[in-house]
């Protein structure tokens, strides 16, 4: 049996940050294990038939040293941007570690990005080198004439055109590269924001960002003992959720991570994977969890004796999904909140007594988080305000890439202003309401979509839901809902009326959708968030 966790109050009172003067993510994540236990499994990579192949810390160290040497020989140095355009794989981890060893800046990119999204990120960042696969290379070859800074392309699928063969490059490089001595504030990682308004901006982080994530990772994942367990997430490692809530902290703490580079998220396949591999800890976005809810009696169909914890972040989880996990899986989900710029600052964890349906959680030890009014004062209990994080903070970014004015606009009196709306209750739990740009203005009310969507998803026919504002000459806006249905249900006027009546019985009058639209699917970002602005733009 694991040792009982301390109380949340004790964790907060006793917490002190320990940030060393010299710190490099690669040395901490990889070398601390590779130099003492080189054969310890770091990754469990699945092939096309989901057969696992273990990859050791020793291999990660050797390959990342070789890649760092190869990139240095091609002119990549400190501060240069190295893009990673790959699905979950060994090469993702190796490229990140190599970039950190160089003192370069790793730039993760999602494979689902279209050419315009890729071109903006590669051009804006001035990327010098890219590691990719055949699918990414096909996009890059069309963009290459407009990417003058891009000098090196390595493909894990072999040499083609301007791309060199990744494996051949590793094999011909020396392993004696000396990892650069970096400070915690030296640039290490840049993730572009989702770009809900305007072009996406590069959020630049220092090496300290990993240390800043460790308290929240430990909390949301239920205090697993170091060097134990098996972690899996379907989230792309190109995003903060997959990279910083899962991959890098797990490797740092000696928990192997499953890499599944293929296939869309499918509920039955997800259950089967966790059962067959003996996954102990999973990070599943709310959308994935709602899809899992569609399968009845999972514990009767799948043997999950080792699954000890599920964590979730990205959007509001909702009370219904929280209660479903307790009833169907016997687990209390550890929910978390953060942003690309300042991630994993709120979390819940049943082991420390912080778990409440419908609430994200409380501030993670080491982070000061408040809900502020427009005048900068703290909101009263149950009053809606803006989530703010006190600077300095190890998870807080260094700034937007080459946009100091945009960076400065996001700070107010020493607080990082997230643009997200929330309420703190009398017990200190913070309940997410919605992004500022997702709020619906109706008459005198400002309505967040999260509670409406959670209510709609509680109806037995609804799989996913999105709530947006539709123009209204009297009220400015009214609520318009979009839903996808569970298997066995078909769109009809009668079902729409039933769902709206269900919502009317549970929501405040101003929150009830005036119209409901059935959709086969909802527009999603590659990180699993609903793109509400796209739905707002649809004609009524």
pLDDT < 70 positions in the chain: 1-5, 194-198, 443-446, 526-527, 540
Q: pLDDT by residue (tens digit) across 11-38?
A: 888 999 999 999 999 999 999 999 999 9
* 421, β-bridge pairs: 386, 434
pLDDT of residue 317: 87
CA-wise closest residue to 286 among 241, 224, 249, 238: 241
How much is the mean pLDDT over the chain?
92
* Residue in this structure with the two tokens 């367990």, named with its chain if needed: 229
pLDDT of residue 4: 66
Domain annotation for the chain: domains and CATH numbers:
24-206 (3.40.50.12780), 439-536 (3.30.300.30)
208 neighbors 496 (Cβ within 8 angstroms): no
Instruction: Specify the pTM.
Output: 0.86
**What's the per-residue H, E or C state across 36-50?**
CCCCCEEEEEECCCC
pLDDT of residue 287: 81
Percent of the chain's residues with pLDDT above 70: 97
SS3 28: helix
516 neighbors 500 (Cβ within 8 angstroms): yes
Helix pair 115-125, 134-143: axis angle to 10 deg: 70
pLDDT of residue 196: 45
504: enclosing H helix or E strand: helix 493-504
pLDDT of residue 398: 98
pLDDT of residue 54: 98
CA-wise closest residue to 80 among 91, 72, 89: 72
pLDDT of residue 450: 79
155: enclosing H helix or E strand: strand 152-155
């Amino acid at each position: 049996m694991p040792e009982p966790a301390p109380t949340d109050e004790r964790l907060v009172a006793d917490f002190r940050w320990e940030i060393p003067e010299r710190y490099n993510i690669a040395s901490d994540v990889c070398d601390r294990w590779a130099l003492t236990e080189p054969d310890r499994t770091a990754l469990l990579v699945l092939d096309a038939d989901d057969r696992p192949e273990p990859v050791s810390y020793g291999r990660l160290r050797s390959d990342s040293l070789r890649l760092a040497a190869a990139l240095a020989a091609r002119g990549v140095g400190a501060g240069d941007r190295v893009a990673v355009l790959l699905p979950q794989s060994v090469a993702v981890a190796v490229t990140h570690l190599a970039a950190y060893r160089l003192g370069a800046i790793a730039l993760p990119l999602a494979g689902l990005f279209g050419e315009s999204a890729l071109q903006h990120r590669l051009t804006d960042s001035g990327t010098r080198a890219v590691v990719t696969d055949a699918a990414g290379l096909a996009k890059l070859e069309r963009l290459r004439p407009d990417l003058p800074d891009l000098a090196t392309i390595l493909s894990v699928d072999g040499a083609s055109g301007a791309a060199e063969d990744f494996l051949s490059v590793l094999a011909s490089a020396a392993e004696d590269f000396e990892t650069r001595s970096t400070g915690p504030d030296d640039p290490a990682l840049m993730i572009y924001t989702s770009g809900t308004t305007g072009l996406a901006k590069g959020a630049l982080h220092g090496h300290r960002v990993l240390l800043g994530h460790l308290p929240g990772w430990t909390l949301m994942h239920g205090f697993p003992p170091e060097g134990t367990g098996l972690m899996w997430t379907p989230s792309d490692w190109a995003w903060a959720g997959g990279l910083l809530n899962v991959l890098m902290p797990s490797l740092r703490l000696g928990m192997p991570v499953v890499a599944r580079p293929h296939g869309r998220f499918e509920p039955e396949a997800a259950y089967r994977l966790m059962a067959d591999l003996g996954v102990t800890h999973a990070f599943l976005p709310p959308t994935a969890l709602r899809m899992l809810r569609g399968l009845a009696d999972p514990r009767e169909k799948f043997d999950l004796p080792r699954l000890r914890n599920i964590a979730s972040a990205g959007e509001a989880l909702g009370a219904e999904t929280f209660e479903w996990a307790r009833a169907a899986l016997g687990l209390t989900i550890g929910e978390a909140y953060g942003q690309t710029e300042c991630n994993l600052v709120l979390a819940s964890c049943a082991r420390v007594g912080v778990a409440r349906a419908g609430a994200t959680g409380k501030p993670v030890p080491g982070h000061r988080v408040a809900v502020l009014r427009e005048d900068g004062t703290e909101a009263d209990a149950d009053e809606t305000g803006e989530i703010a994080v006190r600077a300095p903070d190890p998870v807080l970014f260094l700034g937007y890439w080459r946009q100091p004015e945009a960076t400065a606009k996001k700070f107010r009196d020493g607080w990082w202003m997230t643009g997200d709306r929330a309420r703190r209750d009398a017990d200190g739990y913070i309940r997410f309401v919605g992004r500022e740009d997702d709020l619906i203005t109706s008459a005198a009310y400002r309505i967040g979509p999260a509670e409406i969507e959670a209510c709609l998803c509680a109806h037995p026919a609804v799989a996913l839901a999105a709530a947006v504002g539709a123009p209204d000459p009297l009220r400015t806006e009214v609520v318009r809902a979009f839903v996808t249905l569970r298997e066995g249900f078909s769109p009809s006027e009668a079902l729409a009326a039933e769902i709206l009546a269900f919502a009317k019985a549970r929501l405040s009058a101003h929150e009830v959708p005036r119209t409901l639209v059935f959709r086969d699917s909802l527009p999603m970002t590659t990180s699993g968030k609903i793109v509400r602005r796209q739905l707002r733009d649809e004609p009524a």
